Structure 1
C-alpha cells in the first residue's frame, strides 16, 4: 500500500499554510516527499475560491479589521468560506496518475471520509447533489474545495487545498454570519459539538479522521502517524 505522511500543525495563519502547501506540492511532484495530509486549525480567515463572488462577503474592511478576520483570494475551486479556531482543516497533497483520473471521484472520496467520521458519532452525514461538501439534514458541516496541480515531472496531478470540518460550536457564529457560505443562501451550517451535545477538541477529532482517510484513499498509515507530529515547519 502507499505511504502517507500525516502532520498536525495546530493553529496556523492561512497565508503560511498556503505557502507550505505550494512547497510540498513541488516536493511530491519531484518524488522528494511521500503523499501528505496536513491537519490544522486556522486563525480567522475568509477564502474566496475561483468562482469569485466577492458580493458574498458581507463585512466591509472596517468590520473585518475589528473582528480580526483576514481575506484571501485563492486558487482552489468554489466560492467563499470561513476558516477559524474550532474547525478541523485538512490539506491532502496526493499524487494522482493522469491515466483513468476521475476528478469528481476524488471529491466524493473526501466527502466519504467525513461521512465515515460522522458515523462514529452515530450521525448520518450525506450529500446534496447540486453542492460539494457534507451535510447533516439541511445544514452543512464540512466544506470542500480543491486544486489539481499539473505535475511537471510526471504524467498526473498533485492535489492541494481540501476540507474544512466544523468541530466546535463557536465556529457557527464566529465567521459564517459574515458571508453567504459557498453562495448558498437557503441552508445553514452546523458543527459536531452542536450535533452531539458534547465538548470536543479539534486535535482529538484530527486523530479520529486519519484511519478513515487512509481507508478511503488506500494508504498505509504507520502507528507513529497517530501522534500527528509537527515536523514540516
Structure 2
C-alpha cells in the first residue's frame, strides 16, 4: 500500500481548470488499477491532495436541486460568478476567494475501504484544525460537513463537503470558509438545507483576515495524522 500523498498548492484558479485536473488524476489512478487487475500486476497507485482557492462559482451536486440557486444567469454574471452541475454527492455550494478548498484524490485501497470512515476523517481533520484556533466545531447528525453550535438556534456551517468515489478512488472534497465573503451564500440555499446559516473562521475569531497558509499547514498536518500518511510534496504556481 502506498501511503505517500503528493500535495499540490494551486493558488487561485477557475473551477473548470481544477475540475479537469481532478478528472485527469482520477482517471489515471483508475487506469492503473484496471491494468493491475487485467495483467495481474502490482503497480503502485498515487495519492494526491490539491489545495486551491476558486474564483466565484456555485456548484450543484448530482443529487441537488437547481431551485436552491436563488439567482438568475444575469445576476451570476453581475457577480462575476459561474455555475456548474458536477458529479459529486450533495446539493449546492459556493466556492470563492478566501475559502480553502481541498481535493483529496486517493486510492482508498492504500488506506482502508470504507467511504463512511473517509468522510468522518475529513470532518475530523477540520474539527482538529479549528480546535487549534479555539473554535469548537462538530458534526451535525444527518448533515455532512462541519458545524458550530449544533442543536441551537445559532447553528452555522463552516465547512462543506461532497465527494465522488469509484472503485475506491476519491475526488472532490471539502471547502473551509476562512476569509470568505459570506454575502455570496445569500444567493443560494447552502447544501439545500433551509434555515441554516454559514460562517467563516475570520468571523468566529473576530479578525479581518486569518493567515490562509497557516490554516493549510494545520489542515495538512491533521490530514497526514488521521490517514497515517506521509508527504510527497509538489508545489505548483
Measured in 2, the distance between the counterparts of 1:129 and 1:103 equals 17
> In the alignment, which residue of structure 2 is the partner of 1:182?
191
Q: For this pair of structures, how many residues does the alignment match?
A: 219
CA contact (8 A) 1:146 1:159 kept: yes
- Which runs of 5 or more structure 2 residues have no equivalent in the other structure? 33-42, 150-154
What does 1:100-179 correspond to in 2, within 5 Å? 101-137=113-149, 138-150=155-167, 157-168=168-179, 170-173=180-183, 175-179=184-188
1:203 to 210, 213, 216: 213
Match of residue 25 from structure 1: 26
Q: Which has the larger radius of gyration?
A: 2
Cα drift, residue 32 of structure 1: 6.9
Counterpart contact for 1:166–1:191, Cα < 8 Å: yes
Distance 1:203 1:149 in 2: 31
The two structures, once aligned, show a CA RMSD in angstroms of 1.9
Asked whether the equivalents of residues 3 and 110 of structure 2 are also in contact (C-alpha less than 8 Å), the reply is no
Q: Distance in 1 between matches of 2:111 and 2:22?
A: 24
Q: Is 2:64–2:192's contact at 8 Å kept on the other side of the alignment? A: no
Cα distance in 1, alignment partners of residues 111 and 49 from structure 2: 23
**So what's the TM-score if we normalise by structure 2?**
0.87
Q: 2:36 is matched with which residue?
A: none
**Which deviates more, 33-42 or 200-209?**
200-209
CA–CA distance in structure 2, aligned partners of residues 28 and 204 of structure 1:
30
1:154 aligned residue: none
Contact residue 24 and residue 33 of structure 1 kept, 8 A: no
Q: Hey, what's the Cα distance between the residues in 2 that align with 1:203 and 1:33? A: 28
Aligned-pair distance for 1:102? 1.9
Gaps in structure 1 of 5+ consecutive residues: 151-156
Q: Which residue of 1 aligns with 2:225?
A: 215
